[in-house]
């Protein structure tokens, strides 16, 4: 069982971790090499960072317990995109890979009631880098 956190109930963390593991398996099947998961810095966390060919891919994983993934997809709004851009820039600076092609993908997992496997929607190059932190794509 996950370690308790004051921010989320245990079942929500479990559901998120389950979704991230499923997204990771899916991305590997699509030819991604997983570089890191849950990369943290003072401004937040990146769910997954992968490499597909020569491209660095910052993957936001969203999930829902319904069979309609629209609300999970819509939750990656402009504010979230700007935060992910700042996080990706911090990652690229930290590992000195600022001149590597990069993009943002969103993987949405819908877990209908009783389903053992999720319905997965993968949005490659889901949004451009936003704000003053823009980067190469």
Using one digit for the tens of pLDDT, what is the confidence trace for 94-108? 999 989 999 999 999
pLDDT score of 5 more than 60: no
Length of the chain equals 137
Residue 134 or 35, more confident = 35
Measured distance CA(76)–CA(107) in Å, rounded: 11
**Total count of domains within the chain:** 1
Identify the pLDDT of residue 8: 66
Query: Could you tell me if residue 19 is inside a domain?
Result: no
Report residue 15's pLDDT band, with 50, 70 and 90 as the boundaries: low
Identify the pLDDT of residue 6: 56
User: What are the angstrom distances between the C-alpha of 65 and each of 9, 96, 98?
Assistant: 15, 38, 37
Domain span including residue 46: 36-126
For the entire predicted model, the pTM comes to 0.84
Q: Which residues make Cβ contacts (< 8 Å) with residue 14, sequence separation at least 6?
A: 1, 2
CATH number at residue 100: 3.40.1350.10
Report residue 23's pLDDT band, with 50, 70 and 90 as the boundaries: very high
Measured distance CA(64)–CA(79) in Å, rounded: 20
Query: Could you tell me if residue 115 is inside a domain?
Result: yes
Given the structure tokens 């003072």, which residue do they identify? 42
Each residue's pLDDT tens digit, 31-63: 999 999 999 999 999 999 999 999 999 999 998
Tokens at 87, concatenated: 């996080």
Identify the pLDDT of residue 135: 54
Tokens at 17, concatenated: 């971790």
Query: Could you tell me if residue 104 is inside a domain?
Result: yes
Q: Which of 136, 111, 113 is nearest to 125 (CA)?
A: 136
Query: Could you tell me if residue 11 is inside a domain?
Result: no
Identify the pLDDT of residue 2: 46
Query: Could you tell me if residue 132 is inside a domain?
Result: no
């Amino acid at each position: 069982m996950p370690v308790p956190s004051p921010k989320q109930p245990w079942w929500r963390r479990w559901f998120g971790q389950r979704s991230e593991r499923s997204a990771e398996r899916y991305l590997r099947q699509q030819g991604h090499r997983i570089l890191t998961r849950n990369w943290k810095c003072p401004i937040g966390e990146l769910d997954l960072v992968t490499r597909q060919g020569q491209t660095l891919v910052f993957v936001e994983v969203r999930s829902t317990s319904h069979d309609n993934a629209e609300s999970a997809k819509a939750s990656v709004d402009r504010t979230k995109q700007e935060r992910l851009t700042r996080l990706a820039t911090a990652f690229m600076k930290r590992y000195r890979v600022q001149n590597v092609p990069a993009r943002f993908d969103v993987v949405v997992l819908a877990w209908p009631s009783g389903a053992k496997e999720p319905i997965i929607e993968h949005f490659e190059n889901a949004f451009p880098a936003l704000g003053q932190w823009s980067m190469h794509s």
